[in-house]
Structure 1
């Protein structure tokens, strides 16, 4: 699948295309909780390596993120609002 990320640049939003990444393997992900909505998603990515981790921020508790880290701190962090 392709990943589209909106990146703020001087009062405008630019779309950068990363990918395609992924493959035929994997399983559906579910954090096990029921939420009413997503406030923000933070991704980390590295050129040529794909997404390293993501953090979901839900509307019920916008200050607390639920991280799913990659363990590699060389990735660039991007917020999707």
Structure 2
């Protein structure tokens, strides 16, 4: 779920980068930036910025740095 916060320091909506996988029942809320190549695990709660090449797990969310975090979750473009 992507959600808007209507008041306070994080009022606004999330900005999602490229190659981001949002797991089932994950919650991403507020004026935050989700980087590129990010996997947000099922059930994770994210109300903070997430850098590129990361996995977020848990509630509250915890960031784990990982290159190619979405490999196997997002299909690569097919080349001719």
Shorter-chain TM-score: which interval? Answer: under 0.3
Q: Which structure is higher in RCO with an 8 Å CA cutoff and minimum separation 6?
A: 1
If the length of structure 2 is used for normalisation, what is the TM-score?
A: 0.28
Tell me the TM-score normalised to structure 1 length: 0.27
